[in-house]
A and B are shown apart, each in its own frame.
Chain A
Amino acid sequence: MRSIESTSSAPRWGIRVIGVGSAALILILAVLLPGLVALLILGALIAYLLDPTVQRLERRGFNRTAAASMVFAGLSLLVISALIVLVPAAVTQFEELLSMDVSRATATFESVNLRINGWIGKLGLEEVDLLESLLSYLGERIPSMIAVLPDALSFIGNLALFPFIVFFLLKDGRMLKKTMLLLIPNHYFEFTLGLLFKMDVQLGNYLRGQLVEAFVVGVLSIAALWILDVPYFLPVGIFAGAANVVPYLGPSTGAITAVIVVLVSGGSPATAVLIVVLFILIQLLDNGIVQPLVISRKIKMHPLLIVVSVVAGGQLFGFLGLLLAVPVMAILKVFVVESIRYSRRYRFQPG
């Protein structure tokens, strides 16, 4: 009987070299051009989230290019109209923020300072000037914030590339995946294909659910803040929706931001309490109704893992990193867990 040991021919070695080379190139790119890599990840995520919509159009008889173009045009229209509505509002609100009368906030700050110094005096310690400490802290930080500006400008430059990235990933994503799978050696081909399928089943639902959830929480937050007549309700509500993607930290961050805005802009403590109550209600609504409807399968992540990934994402890729940290960590977690679970069912040894 003929032996059925695996043999490798020369062209297959060539394919492996290309595969290893491509992986190395991606790693080098990630180190040298983190901004571009973050945009590619974001583009891939958006294309992945929009894929079912493209498929729905394909079902109606459109070819892939036409379907992808239509979805892309729809998305562009949505983004442009959002910008038309949001940018003037944001600029106006930003201008208001700059010309805001901070005397009341300063007075609050000074009264707190006086009270603290009263306690400190009783303890026999040296008095502190909170306002001066804060201003000197900001004075040290602002130049370093300005130093980040060139990075921000190159980010805007990369941003111009972004629509192209999304469009081509949307149009050719399937072909790209197929081409990459061609590089996988026969030995691991079925395993890789099965693993990607399992990841897709778990992640597709989770990521799309997260997006819908963020949208719902964002809209509800904007509505709640608008009803309570909170200034800058639009950016604060959008921020609360986006922050909702980060479990544990996100919802409280949104509420804290809104409370700070109310207090600094001279709102009453009663409004601040109402905001907290409404944000708790929104969370209850989200956990009780929205989540069960849009997310059928949750990907559990330890709070520590979430905090570490958000900090690492922020440090490595800036604001985009903060936003992408949790979805990327979810992808990595599913990849690791499913790889281990699925590989146990395979026998990779030859012969």
Chain B
Amino acid sequence: MSEVTRMSGFWSNIFSRNPKKESTLDLLETIPVFEELNSRELRAVERILYRRTFSPGEIIFRQGDPGVGMYILGEGEVEIRSEPDQTVLTTLGVGSFFGEVSLLNEVPRSATAAASTECVLWGFFRPELMDLIERWPKLGVKILLHLAQIAGKRLVAVDVELRDMRTRDSEGR
């Protein structure tokens, strides 16, 4: 296993709750970004999501491209790959989400996402989040807070992995 594959704390689905539920609202309820939202707020979020379908092998976004927002996996599986060597960092299933950092800032995508099966994804993008913050600041702040918490948790996970790698490296010498 390559070092990159081992260090996947940023991309792996550390928030998965395996929803196996049917409606979009049920799916959204399980996503930490929308935690603590009431049903009215969840419906408002549902209205601004974009439903996109992808064929097996189709690129969702590419490493290095400007990030516009996050995706929630409704059906199918998605592979997260590092370029240029195409190393698979992780495979995500239903109820997973990815790309949420670009909701906060237009940072380049840090990996490529590709559909490995027929996929249904729900896209939540920065223009819609900005619009939501304008129209419904309370809801916008709730989402932003959770996004910041998720970014923090991912950072901690990456930090722990880095420390483990350093320990393994020093033990190996």
| Interchain CA distance A164-B157 in the complex, whole Å | 54
Identify the closest chain B residue to A175 (Cβ).
Answer: B47
Are A197 and B135 also in contact (CB < 8 A) when A7-B55, A9-B55, A345-B66 are?
no
Q: Is the CB of A7 within 8 A of B56?
A: yes
Q: Is the CB of B134 within 8 A of A55?
A: yes
Q: Beta-carbon contacts of A170-184 to B below 8 Å, as 1s and 0s?
A: 000010001001100
In order of increasing CB-CB distance, the 9 nearest A-B pairs are: A197-B127, A58-B135, A4-B114, A7-B55, A190-B68, A194-B68, A55-B135, A55-B134, A345-B66
Asked if B64 is at the interface of the complex by the 8 Å CB criterion, the answer is yes
Asked if A122 is at the interface of the complex by the 8 Å CB criterion, the answer is no
Q: Is the CB of A194 within 8 A of B66?
A: yes
- Can you list 29 residue pairs at the A/B interface with Cβ under 8 Å? A2-B116, A4-B58, A4-B86, A6-B58, A7-B57, A7-B58, A9-B55, A52-B134, A55-B131, A58-B135, A58-B136, A59-B135, A59-B136, A178-B48, A178-B50, A181-B50, A186-B60, A187-B59, A189-B50, A189-B52, A190-B61, A190-B65, A190-B66, A193-B68, A194-B106, A196-B127, A197-B130, A346-B65, A350-B59
Chain A nearest CB from B35 CB (Å) reads 23
| Interchain CA distance A193-B131 in the complex, whole Å | 13
| Interchain CA distance A178-B128 in the complex, whole Å | 10
Instruction: Enumerate chain A residues within 8 angstroms of B88, measured Cβ to Cβ.
Output: 1
Instruction: Enumerate chain B residues within 8 angstroms of A194, measured Cβ to Cβ.
Output: 66, 68, 106
Q: Is the CB of A186 within 8 A of B58?
A: yes
Query: Which secondary structure dominates chain B's binding surface?
Result: mixed
Most-contacted residue by chain A among B54, B57, B130 (CB, 10 A): B57
| Interchain CA distance A165-B40 in the complex, whole Å | 30
Asked if B81 is at the interface of the complex by the 8 Å CB criterion, the answer is yes
Chain A nearest CB from B45 CB (Å) reads 14
Identify the closest chain A residue to B106 (Cβ).
Answer: A194
Instruction: Enumerate chain B residues within 8 angstroms of A96, measured Cβ to Cβ.
Output: none
Asked if A127 is at the interface of the complex by the 8 Å CB criterion, the answer is no
Q: Beta-carbon contacts of B64-85 to A below 8 Å, as 1s and 0s?
A: 1110110000000001010000
Q: Beta-carbon contacts of A313-351 to B below 8 Å, as 1s and 0s?
A: 000000000000000000000000000001001110010
Asked if B62 is at the interface of the complex by the 8 Å CB criterion, the answer is yes
Q: Is the CB of B59 within 8 A of A6?
A: yes
Chain A nearest CB from B140 CB (Å) reads 10
Asked if B122 is at the interface of the complex by the 8 Å CB criterion, the answer is no
Instruction: Enumerate chain B residues within 8 angstroms of A186, measured Cβ to Cβ.
Output: 52, 54, 58-60
Chain B nearest CB from A168 CB (Å) reads 18
Asked if A268 is at the interface of the complex by the 8 Å CB criterion, the answer is no
Q: Beta-carbon contacts of A254-289 to B below 8 Å, as 1s and 0s?
A: 000000000000000000000000000000000000
Q: Is the CB of B57 within 8 A of A347?
A: no
Instruction: Enumerate chain A residues within 8 angstroms of B112, measured Cβ to Cβ.
Output: 4
Instruction: Enumerate chain A residues within 8 angstroms of B54, measured Cβ to Cβ.
Output: 186
| Interchain CA distance A1-B2 in the complex, whole Å | 15
Q: Is the CB of B57 within 8 A of A6?
A: yes
Q: Is the CB of A1 within 8 A of B86?
A: yes
| Interchain CA distance A187-B59 in the complex, whole Å | 8
Asked if A5 is at the interface of the complex by the 8 Å CB criterion, the answer is yes
Most-contacted residue by chain B among A6, A197, A346 (CB, 10 A): A197
Chain A nearest CB from B161 CB (Å) reads 23
Instruction: Enumerate chain A residues within 8 angstroms of B127, measured Cβ to Cβ.
Output: 193, 196-197, 200
Asked if A99 is at the interface of the complex by the 8 Å CB criterion, the answer is no
Q: Is the CB of B66 within 8 A of A342?
A: yes
Are A4 and B52 also in contact (CB < 8 A) when A200-B127, A347-B64 are?
no
Instruction: Enumerate chain B residues within 8 angstroms of A144, measured Cβ to Cβ.
Output: none
Asked if B97 is at the interface of the complex by the 8 Å CB criterion, the answer is no
Asked if A8 is at the interface of the complex by the 8 Å CB criterion, the answer is yes
